[in-house]
Structure 1
Amino acid sequence: FVADAGLVFSSTRQRSIETAIALTRGRAFDSDAIFVEAPLPPPNLPGFIRLTPSIWGFLARVWWWFLNHHEGEETRRQAESRADRAADRLIAAAEDGRDVVLLAHGFFNFMIGRALRQRGWQVVMNEGFKYWSMRRFERP
């Protein structure tokens, strides 16, 4: 699907670029920092607390999303504004009817998906939030 898409975007993170290189099979793609994952600053918990990385990640996201804990990094409001701009960019790329693919990061992809739905786009395929999962959006 990716190799045949009209336009492919990736974030500027190495893992997204390498994925795009592998999946586009040599075709050009557009890598842009607007698609980089939202920050995940760790919560300020005492150092003696030992948790698994997945629990730390979950707590950090909850702290960031609900408690505005950002440690000087991008805030939730700033990330939502960036997700809005990213959604607008994807919509503009799809204006001529081409399939557009974004190879980026889980939580920020979720945020872009929210922005797309707010603009009337519908999810027609959803593989959830596991690694390598995808969601397909279409304009009604």
Structure 2
Amino acid sequence: MADEPSADHLFPAVRPGAITLARHGEPALSRKIRLNAPAYGEWWARYEEGGLLPGQTPPASLLTTAQRAGVIVASTRRRSIETADAVAAGRVFARDPLFIEAPLPPPPWPPWIRMSPKNWGFFARFWWWFFDHHAGQESRAEADTRADQAADLLIGLSENGQEVLLIAHGFFNTMIGLSLQKRGLKKTLDQGFKYWCVKRFERV
């Protein structure tokens, strides 16, 4: 008597969909200024509330990814929502504070030290990452936990085979990507850290 076909043969497992992490478009707030540490803290607070610089066009590749995605998710920051609006072509997308950027409190340096927001961002991230300087905001350990939660949520959304597109923030996307890789996904595309750029992760 021939062997009966197994349930796995009759109903093969669904291959999880790809997960794409996109950085938002360019914000409107100018970086062409020099600030001391307290002023940078105020600048970052305005950056967190602001939207996109007008007149931008999403890359064709990101539009294609959005069309292919079964679900699109954005953080609750305005710059992420406006980016999602630009690529979703009228589709409804989810908004979740789980995906907001990790904080950037400036190091407590003397007020005579003045730098551009770009340089302050680098040193603030360095102090936050290596010295756990969080000034009462989210710590690195807390952000690591949040990144793991975000990765688990995205994996869950992709398990039925649909592709998932997250539109969020540069550094926290990197942290989510590390969590995805710890969970066995492989980075198959990395466009870097510029605005509108993406990183793609898949089960291989």
State the one-letter code of the partner of 1:60: A
**Equivalences for 1:1-140 in 2 at 5 Å?**
1-140=65-204
Identity of aligned residues (%): 54
- d(CA) in 2 for partners of 1:28, 1:34: 18
- Structure 1: which 4+ aligned runs deviate by more than 3 Å? none
User: Over aligned residues, Cα RMSD in angstroms?
Assistant: 0.7
- d(CA) in 1 for partners of 2:108, 2:118: 16
- d(CA) in 2 for partners of 1:6, 1:99: 5
What is the CA deviation profile of residues 68-93 of structure 1, one whole-angstrom value per residue up to 9, with x for unaligned ones? 00000000000000000000000000
What is the CA deviation profile of residues 27-60 of structure 1, one whole-angstrom value per residue up to 9, with x for unaligned ones? 1111000000000001100000111211100000
- The structure with more radius of gyration: 2
**What is the TM-score when the length of structure 2 is the normalising length?**
0.68
Q: With a CA cutoff of 8 Å and minimum separation of 6, indicate the structure with the bigger relative contact order.
A: 2
SS at match of 2:201: strand
Instruction: Answer with 68-77 or 19-28: which moved more.
Output: 19-28
Residue ranges of structure 2 left out of the alignment (5+ in a row): 1-64
Q: How many pairs align?
A: 140
**What is the TM-score when the length of structure 1 is the normalising length?**
0.98
State the one-letter code of the partner of 1:119: R
